Amino acid sequence: MSLFSNTATLLGKELRTEFRSRELLTTTAVFILIVLVLFSFAVTPGTEEARQFAPGLLWLAILFASSLMFQSCFLREQTNDTLSSLRLAVSDPFSIFLAKLIANTLFLLLTELIMLPFFALFYNIPLWSKLPVLLLVLLVGSLGISIAGTAISAISAQARMRELLLPLLLLPLLTPVLVVSSLVTGNLLDREPIIQWKGIAFLAVFDLVFLTALWLFGEYLLEE
């Protein structure tokens, strides 16, 4: 029971810190927007080609944005020297990870929600009727990105050149998420939409594997 109450308290702390400044959310949302606009210059927008590439691009933008967003996740604790007090405050260090990864998922989902209308507008893709399933795909995909991202940001925060190291470690690890979620989103946004339940299940398996790994090995990541 203490795992849940600790996690809830820590999650409250994460959310309060972010919503005081909203730095992370605004910068990430603007970043995704820039990528989406820039991409329209790389291919001719409005064409069938752009339509086909759009779902993959959407996930690529989310992936890059997440690797920027997760930088501060453990770094903030380190610069303020609060990690050891955090560890002392909770009985199970997994709750630190759990709180951080839930917060990261929420932030990521929020930025995705902010830019989804722009995405639909720029690439002329009607989303409304497919929204419930699309949200489910965004949820399982972003959860996977956040679980792996939280673990990796705990590693990279303790190394040199950490800003560069985080995407370097994280992005190859997230290949399965990129491959499957782009495919599922692509099929969903097609003119004849197909819901790839197998793909969604695969993303859930990815989440589960990394969550279990984090639960088993998380405490070693935070060793002093």
Partner 1 sequence: MAKRITLGAVALLLVIASAYASFYIAPEERTMGVIQRIFYFHVASAWAGFTAFLVCFIGNLLYVWKRSEKYDWLGVSSAEVGLAFTTVVLITGPIWAHPVWGIWWTWDARLTSTFILWLLYVSYLLLRTLIEEPDRRALLSSLFGIFAFLDVPLVFGAIRWWRTQHPSPVIMGGQGSGLEPTMKAVFFFSVIAMHVFMTFLIVERYILEKTKAEVDILRREAEAQ
Per CB under 8 A, 161 contacts partner 1: yes
Residue 56 corresponds to which amino acid?
A: G
For 92, the 3-state DSSP assignment is: coil
Residue 127 corresponds to which amino acid?
A: L
Closest distance to partner 1 from the beta carbon of 178 (Å): 8
**Alpha helix stretches (DSSP H) within 22-130:** 23-42, 48-69, 71-79, 83-89, 94-122
Of positions 85, 175, 194, 201, contacts partner 1 by CB under 8 A? 175
Burial of residue 103, with CB atoms counted within 10 A of its CB: 0-12 exposed, 13-18 middle, 19 or more buried:
buried
Per CB under 8 A, 204 contacts partner 1: no
Per CB under 8 A, 151 contacts partner 1: yes
Of positions 75, 99, 169, 189, contacts partner 1 by CB under 8 A? 169
- Could you give the count of Cα atoms lying within 13 Å of 123 in the half-sphere of its Cβ? 30
Per CB under 8 A, 42 contacts partner 1: no
Smallest Cα–Cα separation from 118: which of 1, 213, 63, 36? 36
Of positions 30, 86, 125, 205, contacts partner 1 by CB under 8 A? 205
- Minimum CB distance to partner 1 smaller for 122 or for 210: 210
Per CB under 8 A, 189 contacts partner 1: no
Q: Which stretch binds partner 1 (CB under 8 A): 17-25, 75-83, 99-107, 152-160?
A: 152-160
Cα–Cα distances in Å, from 81 out to 77, 78, 113, 153? 6, 5, 33, 16
Q: Which residues bind partner 1 (CB under 8 A)?
A: 148, 151-152, 155, 158-161, 165, 168-169, 172-173, 175-177, 179-180, 183, 199, 202, 205-206, 209-210, 213, 217, 220-221, 223
